[in-house]
């Protein structure tokens, strides 16, 4: 992957996460207390830095093939979640992501919440809401930076792309004091999902021992292949929805219920915090598609077995994705 491709991939992926985090912080500050919201933001960034420093070296020290297999699997699972949800939104089965609506909902919830001062923080709700938003969205940014940057040995470039995306989005949001509703987030998520899925296929197959026919140039075929597959599925689902007598909108196709705004820092002890953290990673990596996760893992292992048996099975992962997406989409949209 060229430096420019790496930079753009990380930039757009991190911009999406930054929009969501900025919306949450803006809601906390606008409806409640700016000082408490900014303290929560700072605390989230501080904990995020500790996590990155702790995990980063471990990832970078993995052998290159193990690293490609590890990163490829994570990117493929993560990317497929984005692609699947983007297809559902584009076909009308899932509502479009509306930052303005989310902002208003967060404002309403924040205004209803009880006031309270804890540990010297004037507004504990504003603090925890900002902390949660920055930490959870920030973990996704960290994941993207560490995986893309480490495997390409360009962590600095990936970090600069992420930092620039976050600064631009945050500065714009705070300057306007409203969510970045004009940012085409759904389009960005679709494009980023396709990129993550494509790189996951490429690096995962390499990590399993397969050799691509045209080495890095194979990405120029994988990305259009995933894009075309997604476009075809969007059209099929649009046709299916138009023919449905009930014109069903599958609003229940969603991520696992988000953590409550105060759950991470509420007084439930270390075990509660650990459970919430584990819940986030389960939702982040697997979400509501455990079957899809299992198929990806099996496809990776099958590629490895075939390669060691003398068959260069580079084609297996793309084939698994083409089979997996329709299986999942038609399962969740059946009447």
Give me the mean pLDDT over the 1-10 stretch.
Answer: 74
Mean pLDDT rounded to a whole number for the chain: 77
Give me the mean pLDDT over the 231-243 stretch.
Answer: 89
How many domains does the chain fold into?
Answer: 1
* Helix 64-90 with 219-243: angle, nearest 10 deg: 30
Residue 64 vs residue 196, higher pLDDT? 196
Instruction: Tell me the chain's radius of gyration from C-alpha atoms.
Output: 21
pLDDT above 90: residue 10: no
Question: What is residue 230's predicted lDDT score, i.e. its pLDDT?
Answer: 93
Question: What is residue 263's predicted lDDT score, i.e. its pLDDT?
Answer: 45
Q: How far apart are CA 156 and CA 60, in angstroms?
A: 13
Q: Are the CB atoms for 129 and 265 separated by under 8 Å?
A: no
- DSSP symbol at 121: B
CA distances from 17 to 62, 172, 183, 226, 316 (A): 27, 14, 12, 22, 31
Question: What is residue 227's predicted lDDT score, i.e. its pLDDT?
Answer: 93
Q: How confident is the model at residue 314 (pLDDT cuts 50, 70, 90)?
A: very high
Q: Which domain holds residue 321?
A: 3-251+260-332
Highest mean pLDDT among 17-21, 63-67, 235-239: 235-239
- DSSP symbol at 174: H
pLDDT above 80: residue 53: no
pLDDT above 70: residue 59: no
| Angle, vertex CA 185, rays to CA 174 and CA 40, nearest 5 | 40
Q: How confident is the model at residue 275 (pLDDT cuts 50, 70, 90)?
A: low
Residue 189 vs residue 205, higher pLDDT? 205
CB atoms within 10 A of CB 107: 16
Q: How far apart are CA 184 and CA 23, in angstroms?
A: 15
Q: How confident is the model at residue 50 (pLDDT cuts 50, 70, 90)?
A: confident
What's the gap between Cα 269 and its chain centre?
A: 28
Look up residue 55 and give its two tokens. 């995990």
Q: Are the CB atoms for 263 and 133 separated by under 8 Å?
A: no
Q: How far apart are CA 323 and CA 328, in angstroms?
A: 9
Question: What is residue 319's predicted lDDT score, i.e. its pLDDT?
Answer: 92
pTM: 0.70
pLDDT above 70: residue 25: yes
């Amino acid at each position: 992957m060229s430096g420019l491709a790496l930079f753009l991939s990380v930039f757009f992926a991190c911009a999406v996460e930054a929009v969501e985090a900025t919306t949450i912080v803006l809601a906390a500050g606008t409806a409640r207390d700016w000082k408490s919201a900014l303290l929560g933001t700072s605390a989230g960034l501080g904990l995020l830095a500790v996590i990155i420093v702790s995990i980063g070296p471990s990832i970078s020290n993995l052998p290159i093939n193990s690293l490609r297999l590890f990163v490829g699997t994570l990117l493929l699972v993560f990317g497929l979640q984005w692609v699947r949800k983007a297809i559902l939104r584009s076909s009308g089965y899932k509502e479009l992501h509306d930052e303005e609506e989310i902002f208003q909902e967060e404002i309403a919830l924040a205004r209803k919440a009880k006031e309270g001062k804890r540990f010297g923080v004037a507004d504990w709700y504003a603090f925890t809401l900002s902390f949660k938003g920055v930490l959870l969205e920030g973990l996704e940014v960290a994941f993207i930076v560490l995986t893309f940057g480490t495997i390409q040995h360009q962590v600095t470039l990936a970090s600069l792309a992420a930092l620039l995306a976050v600064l631009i989005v945050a500065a714009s949001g705070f300057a306007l004091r409203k969510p970045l509703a004009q940012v085409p987030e759904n389009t960005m998520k679709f494009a980023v999902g396709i990129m993550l899925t494509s790189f996951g296929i490429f690096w995962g197959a390499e990590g399993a021992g397969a050799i691509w026919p045209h080495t890095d140039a194979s990405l120029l075929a994988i990305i259009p292949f995933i894009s075309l597959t997604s476009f075809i599925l969007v059209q099929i689902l649009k046709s299916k929805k138009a023919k449905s007598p009930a014109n069903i909108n599958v609003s229940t196709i969603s991520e696992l219920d988000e953590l409550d705004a105060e759950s991470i820092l509420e007084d439930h002890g270390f075990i509660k915090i650990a459970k919430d953290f584990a819940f986030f990673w389960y939702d982040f990596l697997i979400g509501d598609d455990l079957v899809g996760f299992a198929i990806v893992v099996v496809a990776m292992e099958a590629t490895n077995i075939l390669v060691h048996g003398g068959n260069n099975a580079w084609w297996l992962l793309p084939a698994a994705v083409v089979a997996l997406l329709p299986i999942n989409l038609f399962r969740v949209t059946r009447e």
